[in-house]
Amino acid sequence: MIQIYNTLTKRKEEFLAPGSKIRMFVCGPTVYDYIHIGNARTFVVFDVIAKYLRYRGYGVNYIQNITDIDDRIIKRAQETGQNWKELSEKFEKIFLDNMKSLKVDSVDKYPRATDHIPEIIKQVRTLIEKGNAYLIEDDGYYFDLKTFPEYGKLSGRTSEMADDAVSRIDENSKKRDRGDFCLWKFSKEGEPSWPADFGAGRPGWHIEDTAITEKYFGPQYEIHGGGQDLIFPHHEAEIAQQESASGLKPFVKYWLHVGFLVNKGGKMSKSLGNFLTIEKALEKYSPEALRFYFLSAHYRSLLDYTEENLKQAEVAITRIAEFKNRLRFYDQNSKPINIDDVKEIEKMHDEIFEAMNDDFNTPKAIGVLFDLIHKINNLIDKNIDVSQLTPPIAALGLFDSVFGVVGGEVKIAKEVQKLIDEREVARKEGDFARADELREQIKNLGYEVEDTIYGPLVKKLHNAIVTN
């Protein structure tokens, strides 16, 4: 049975039974700029979660919104002299291309905020009629937090605890409470707006999510996900809006949040200028390596950004690809496998799924996979016939279709591969002088080699002439 950590209850909970229908919503991008690898980590994590649930027999309907109207979009359009719509469409296309490159293909629908203005207006009107919203003249309608005493139940925080209670378009000295947030912003000259019976304007940031999910999922559904930074105030605001509008609780059964990607100890963000875009990352690393890197830490944990970690990910996916090809093409013979080895391999296979069933523990699953690879490779080296074993094939299938980290075969010149193998033997025997000599020989043949925890990382040198 799958166990999931629920941010709302602050504990792991037993998930619904396989075969259940799961409606899952994840907060998508605000399309005014390139997304960075911190954003991409969240989207890859939920891609894996959706795929794993489907792999286990769940019917998953996965939606991710596109915020295509926002203060930042308007400001960027004004700064660059572009039309806001053209700007948002440009970066939406780039985002979707990035997701395709990263093999994020589990999302069923990407609804845009501006395509759901009628639903947004309807929900704002409901909140006004129920007394949950109030008017600030020449500004817009705000949600009155005093009408929702449970505000803060997701994060354990309140609007009075920190300055970050104010978000994006919500600053106004006339608010009743510092944490009150905007539902509908009245239009200003030169800004986009839509007609509404309570005043022409545009949606607040939080309201688009609940209006969209109510349309496609109804007032309650199973999973809501996003980055850890969205817990407060964004997801708190969503809960306040939807539970006030519908009168039903809980709005969402399971809340899942992905930890920060940190660069030199600080959260990676555009505002801090310490980010690496997916566009740039894909120029240096394969999609499989980036996915492996994102999954190398538990999704709720911080993930350090370093070049070394990305290089190790590149080596790891190379080892997996090599194993896949070796499993397919090794010379089989009649030497039978020991029953104890069979049991050990089957146990490793089960441990991979046990790790994933335990709140999607991808690093533990990865560790078991490499134990399995080591075990099978040793058997093949001893001329043991492993062709009848299904666990290695099943494990590779999971890491290919769900994790998306099984790439193609890496081709290296034969004489180079021979030197690489000799160097690994020298290193294991402690003959580092010989290892250094072999590194230079490898370099002279047009390749560079770096040592990582997963083995040697081998790459062609730029402008090198290499013969095969």
Per-residue pLDDT of the chain (468 residues; tens, 9 = 90+): 999 999 999 999 999 999 999 999 999 999 999 999 999 999 999 999 999 999 999 999 999 999 999 999 999 999 999 999 999 999 999 999 999 999 999 999 999 999 999 999 999 999 999 999 999 999 999 999 999 999 999 999 866 654 544 444 467 889 999 889 999 999 888 899 999 999 999 999 999 999 999 999 999 999 999 999 999 999 999 999 999 999 999 999 999 999 999 987 666 665 555 578 999 999 999 999 999 999 999 999 999 999 899 999 998 998 898 888 778 766 666 688 999 999 999 999 999 999 999 999 999 999 999 999 999 989 988 888 888 899 999 999 999 999 999 987 666 667 877 888 888 888 888 888 888 888 888 888 777 877 766 667 676 664 443 333
Are residues 65 and 186 both part of a single domain?
yes
Are residues 142 and 246 both part of a single domain?
yes
Are residues 174 and 319 both part of a single domain?
no
| Structural domain includes residue 88 | yes
| Structural domain includes residue 148 | yes
Are residues 205 and 272 both part of a single domain?
yes
Sole residue written with tokens 């941010």: 7
pLDDT of residue 117: 98
User: CA-CA distance, 138 to 186, in Å (whole number)?
Assistant: 7
DSSP designation for 232: I
Residue 316's nearest CA partner among 452, 119, 144 is 452
User: CA-CA distance, 426 to 19, in Å (whole number)?
Assistant: 52
Cα torsion 117, 122, 123, 128: sign: positive
Are residues 217 and 317 both part of a single domain?
no
The pTM for the full model equals 0.87
What's the CATH code of the domain at 133?
3.40.50.620
pLDDT of residue 410: 60
| Structural domain includes residue 409 | no
pLDDT of residue 460: 63
pLDDT of residue 330: 65
pLDDT of residue 465: 38
Residue 26 half-sphere exposure toward CB, CA atoms < 13 A: 31
Are residues 269 and 344 both part of a single domain?
no
Q: How far is CA 438 from CA 128, 327, 415, 421, in A?
A: 75, 28, 12, 10
What's the CATH code of the domain at 335?
1.20.120.640
Residue 153's SS3 state is: coil
CB-count burial class (<10 Å; 0-12, 13-18, 19+) for 369: buried
Beta-bridge mates of residue 451: 456
Domain region containing 455: 414-460
Amino acid at 328: R
Query: How big is the chain by its Cα radius of gyration, in Å?
Result: 26
User: CA-CA distance, 171 to 202, in Å (whole number)?
Assistant: 16
Are residues 151 and 220 both part of a single domain?
yes
pLDDT of residue 462: 46
* 10: Cβ contacts below 8 Å, ≥ 6 apart: 156
| Structural domain includes residue 300 | no
pLDDT of residue 312: 92
Residue 26's nearest CA partner among 180, 279, 234, 281 is 234
Beta-bridge mates of residue 456: 451
Number of structural domains in the chain: 3
Provide DSSP, 20-73.
-EEEEEE---BTTS--BHHHHHHHHHHHHHHHHHHHTT-EEEEEE-BB---HHH
Are residues 178 and 275 both part of a single domain?
yes
Are residues 217 and 253 both part of a single domain?
yes
